[in-house]
Amino acid sequence: MTVRTVAIVGAGIAGLTAALCLARKGIASHILEQADRLEEVGAGLQISPNASGVLAKLGLLPTLESQWLEPERIVLASGRTLRPLTAVPVGTQARRRWSYPYGVLHRTTLQRVLIAAVQAEPLAHLHLGAKVDRYNPTAIATQTGEAVDLIVGADGVWSKLRTAVPAAPPACFSGSVAWRFMVPFDRAPPLFDPRSVVAWIGPSAHLVAYPLAEAQSFNIVAIHQGTAGRQIWSGQSGDDGIRMDAFSGWDAGIRALLQAANDPLTWPLYECADGRWYNNSDLILIGDAAHASTPFAAQGAAMAIEDAAELAAAVSGNVDLPDALSSFEKRRRERLKRVRARADFNRFAYHARGPIAFARDVILAIRSPESVAADFDWLYGYQPKF
């Protein structure tokens, strides 16, 4: 069959990118978004070359490049001593080694660029205030105004459509919470590097900082253990504040910065284990709806973008739709298993203590930048089929 029209539930990064990728293949889409207007929510995002390659093919890179920054390196450093432990060269190296740039930007910037592209795309139709409470093809066809060949569940970590996929993985609390706030460039302490993404690590917590050109500020994310909290779409003010005991023994400058954090927002971090994304009929999940993950590998949005490209490629042309969706799911689950394993490893390594932390530091110290970069070839060098 030829897929002509698709309903996409959710106008997040997954849903908007999917609409653009489908349009490139000549497939029309209706994006059903529950919000009445697309609000500016979220934090900073690191967009790695595996995802920026898709954005390049969609023609969005020049606009993004004019607004984002391309850090020279990603540094891992000790939270106690600030001593760098290792660094992955990105910047021009990312373009050379993995063909596409590594950019950092505010989520709002990416969302605005995607929305503008969707609005300029005759094959993509955005419906705001269109909540989809459950999987019901007839009700969805009423919302889109026409019958569709496929329903894409891109409704995020609290996906309603997920319940219609037998053996789909539920979202479970990871045990960690993230806190995010910004520090303007002109008030940032010298330990912040405007040319790097820096992750300071310690036994119970870690802290990531990188510059956002659009906000003229550093985006700071602190992660430590916490409680599940409410299921929310965007960050909320926390009652308890950042747990300073998780940063005990850390550098005094970092502690002072955390204590002075202006209005930090918190996210309980939920994740989905491996499981089915396809209902063996006309519904497929992508993005966080399928595979929400912790930000320990900074790949959630990147995986949503990869999904969008590969799904469009899978269903374009004259296809056996169940076959196309089954192989899409199989291929993507394999990739996600590897990414999840990397995030789990990072969580273990970042928060290690005692002899394990000592061994980690020794191993990192003897590795060359070339061998550290080579470790990311499978992740950043991956070019989604599109």
Ligand X SMILES: Cc1cc2nc3c(=O)[nH]c(=O)nc-3n(C[C@H](O)[C@H](O)[C@H](O)COP(=O)(O)OP(=O)(O)OC[C@H]3O[C@@H](n4cnc5c(N)ncnc54)[C@H](O)[C@@H]3O)c2cc1C
Site for ligand X in 240-299 (CB under 6 A): 267, 287-288, 295, 298-299
The answer to whether residue 34 forms part of the interface with ligand X (CB under 6 A) is yes
The C-alpha atoms of residue 278 and residue 160 are separated, in whole angstroms, by 14
Contact (CB, 8 A) for 19 and 121: yes
Give the range of 91-99, 116-124, 129-137, 211-219 binding ligand X by CB under 6 A. 129-137
A 10 A CB-CB count for 123 gives 17
Pick 153 or 203: Cβ nearer ligand X: 153
Alpha helices in the chain (DSSP H): 13-24, 49-57, 61-65, 91-98, 107-119, 137-144, 252-259, 288-291, 300-315, 321-350, 354-366, 369-374, 377-380
Beta carbon of residue 263, minimum distance to ligand X (angstroms, whole number): 15
- d(Cα 371, Cα 31) in Å, to the nearest integer? 43
Which residues are within 8 A (CB) of 113 and not within 5 positions of it... i.e. 6 or more apart? 60, 63, 64, 67
For residue 180, state whether it binds ligand X (rule: CB under 6 A): yes
Q: Candidates 11-19, 91-99, 145-153, 275-283 — which segment interacts with ligand X by CB under 6 A? A: 11-19
Nearer to ligand X, 254 or 298 (CB): 298
Q: Contact between 103 and ligand X (CB under 6 A)? A: no
Applying CB under 6 A, does 11 fall inside the site for ligand X?
yes
Task: Give the whole-angstrom CA distance, residue 29 versus residue 15.
Answer: 10
Q: Which two tokens stand for residue 7?
A: 């309903």
Encoding tokens for residue 122? 């005759």
Give the shortest CB-82-to-ligand X separation in angstroms: 22
Q: Is 131 in the site for ligand X (CB under 6 A)?
A: yes
Q: Contact, 372 vs 39, CB < 8 A?
A: no
233 binds ligand X (CB under 6 A): yes
Q: Judged by CB under 6 A, which of 87, 302, 313, 336 binds ligand X? A: 302
Residue 118 within binding range of ligand X, rule CB under 6 A: no
Q: Are 297 and 288 in contact (CB under 8 A)?
A: no
Interface with ligand X includes 173 (CB under 6 A)? no
Nearest distance from residue 149's CB to ligand X, in Å?
A: 19
311 binds ligand X (CB under 6 A): no
Residues near ligand X (CB under 6 A) are 9-15, 32-35, 43, 45-46, 131-133, 154-156, 160, 178, 180, 221, 233, 267, 287-288, 295, 298-302, 304
